[in-house]
Amino acid sequence: MNISNKNTSINLLSLDLFALRDAYLNRTVTVSEVIGQVLVQAGNFKDRNIWISLQAPETLMAEAVKLEQRDPAQLPLYGIPFAVKDNIDFAGLPTTAACPDFSYLPAQTAFAVQRLIDAGAVLIGKTNMDQFATGLNGTRSPEPYGICKNSLNPDYIAGGSSSGSAVAVALNIVSFSLGTDTAGSGRIPAAFNNIVGVKPTRGLISCAGVVPACKSLDCVSIFSRSAAEAEYLLDILALFDPNDSYARDPRPLFPALNKEDKLRFGVPKPEQLNFFGDEQGSALFSQAISTLQSIGEVVEIDFQPFLEAALLLYGGPWVAERYAGIRDYIEARPEQLHPVIRQVLSTAQDKSAVDAFAALHRLQQLKRETHAVLQGLSCIVTPTAPRIYRIDEVLADPVNLNSNLGYYTNFMNLLDLCAVAIPSGFYATGLPFGITLFSTALSDNRLLGYAKHFEALQRNAAGRIVESDGDLPAPATASSGYRRIAVCGAHMHGLPLNRQLLDLGARFYATARTSANYRLYALAIAPPERPGLIRDEEHGQNIELELWELPKAHWGDFIGLIKSPLCLGSVELENGQWEYGFLSEYYPIGKSLEITGFGGWRNYLQAKSAAGG
């Protein structure tokens, strides 16, 4: 796996979690090489104001060397670089919550961060944010940190408050990151940077070691390139922490998506959708709904109770909970607060206990009403954000525009819901648009299943891995500009000939398996080692594949690289679909080793390596 290019930065595919893990397992890259390139990438994007602090290069390299003495197969996140928002503790770096005067050096690493490190992940640094996690836009970080800028266009907001965490993933500096989400901070930045953001069920991921925003509502969130990666990370992070007073125990998570489930997606009535004057957003949301209609029923719902709950977050007594979380500091050093945050919290002391109980009673009624709406639905689908603003627009009207951003997010934690934000197209400006799927608490796995299905239908996320659950979308059409190809050997992720696909602009599409009608051989031909796939309807079995999409313009170039005895033909997949793929002529089979029983080329290579062959 070649991790460098002419700009000495890692190409987009190389930091995908699964691709990087495959590269480690196949010993085609070292942790030191990856960390070295991560540090270069971090330096390349200083103008985006992503970081508040980075681990020292020598510290990171020492960690890399230590990991290289271990077996990658024993650590699910071996060598995977990640970042965390700077309101989450890590014992090696100060926690600032984007307030320099508030800074402290924690004695202990946050539970969630330690889970990742124990799994082999490498923490690169702490990311920029809206001060004290109060904001959805990313402009509320004072000097010396500065405003974190959008990964696609620096004139636009990155979204907040977890701005730096999202941008670090979007710019391919790290494989994934952690943020927090109280009012939408794990979803808005994902939408504005074309990545996935997961706001899990409250209490599912420990908040121990997190500077509170609203302690009863806070969540640690996940930013990743795909829903499959987020699912993998959530499985590692979702462990009960007895030191988190809001942790859930036990957690009877609903099972993942069942292929026989009838999908019913709820969407707000047209008059309840609000894009604050941006008609492009309305058109993009309609396109997303049309995509969902191809896999399930779309039904209109009354969105009003959700909107009413959203108004309670800043209009009700929960602003007093924000104040209470850092009360001692605010009252001792009020001048250190960002001016807009000081304005937002200025009403906190006006809230009475009577106000609090009245709001709690109203919220309980709204929970009943909204959960009744969710009954019989797979999930509800909304835009993640109504529109995206330029930085200068938000600076000119910081409170009102921030409030607009929370139209589809502010109610989630109050109503005890979980959510997944996923990319869903682009504005004419080239900036991304996203949708959010949400449902009742502990539906996290099902939502991620729906998200994976939607990603597969979209088929436009170049360079992002989409895992297949067996039901693949229709083949790429001639009008799409791409043709799909099934590869079973040296052209797979991280293997010697994968570079041929990448150099021609191919994008990874999905993992898959053949029907049970194929045999696989380790061909007796010149290096690099390659398998030969032969159809045999009497003695065959399922063989692992990867599906790639190659630009039509380069199809002829790729075919020119294929040498005998390999050839292209039609390959039947497990779901009955047929794709162009690599096959072998018959003449070398008698001299070759049959490896059908391994189920795939990777399994064979790993077994051969373990045997010292």
Encode burial over 304-338: b for 16+ CB neighbours within 10 A, e otherwise. Answer: ebbbbbbebbbebbbbbbbbebbeebbeeeeeebb
| Tokens 């200068």 -> residue | 392
Are β-strands 482-487 and 544-551 bridged in parallel, bridged antiparallel, or unpaired?
antiparallel
pLDDT per residue over 301-312, tens digit each? 999 999 999 998
Give 3-state DSSP helix, strand, coil % of the chain, rounded to 5: 35, 20, 45
Q: Do residues 218 and 180 touch, judged by C-beta distance below 8 A?
A: yes
Report the pLDDT value the prediction gives residue 521, as an integer from 0 to 100: 94
Mean pLDDT, the chain, as a whole number?
88
Evaluate whether 164 touches 150 at the Cβ level (below 8 Å): no
> Residue 344: its pLDDT value, please?
79
Spatial CA neighbour of 81 closest among 5, 155, 17: 17
Q: How far is residue 467's CA from residue 456's CA, in Å, rounded to a whole number?
A: 8
For residues 34 and 3, is the Cβ–Cβ distance under 8 A? Answer: yes
Give the DSSP letter of residue 15.
G
| Cα 390 to chain centroid, rounded | 24
pLDDT value of residue 403:
95
DSSP output for 136-201: SSS----TTT---B-SS-TTBB--SSSHHHHHHHHTTSSSEEEEE-SSSTTTHHHHHTTSEEEEPP
Do 433 and 422 form a contact (C-beta atoms < 8 A)? no
Instruction: Please indicate whether residue 26 or residue 541 has the higher confidence score (pLDDT).
Output: 541
- Residue 207: pLDDT above 50? yes
Q: Is the pLDDT of residue 325 over 90?
A: no
Domains of the chain: 12-458 (3.90.1300.10), 478-610 (3.10.490.10)
The residues that bridge with 571 in the sheet, in sequence order, are 579
Active site residues: 85, 161, 185
Q: How far apart are CA 357 and CA 547, in angstroms?
A: 56
Q: What is the pLDDT of residues 341-383, one digit of tens each?
A: 888 787 777 788 888 888 899 999 999 999 999 999 999 999 9
CA 413 to chain centre: 20
CB 153 within 8 A of CB 112: no
**Whole-angstrom distance, CA of residue 542 vs CA of residue 46:** 48
| Confidence bin at 254 (pLDDT 50/70/90) | low
253 pLDDT above the threshold of 80: no
Mean pLDDT (whole number) for 516-540: 89
Cβ neighbours of residue 175 under 8 Å, at least 6 residues apart? 15, 16, 17, 20, 80, 81, 82, 169, 224, 225, 229
Q: Give the CA distances from residue 536 to residues 440, 465, 542, in Å, rounded to whole numbers and listed in that order.
A: 47, 30, 11
Q: What is the pLDDT of residue 580?
A: 87
What's the Cα-to-Cα distance from 361 to each of 183, 324, 409, 534, rounded to whole Å? 20, 21, 21, 67
Strands 81-85 and 176-180: parallel
For residue 298, the cross-strand partners are: 265
Which residues, in sequence order, are CB contacts of 577 under 8 Å at separation 6+? 472, 475
For the segment 86-101, what is each residue's pLDDT rounded down to a tens digit? 999 999 999 999 999 9
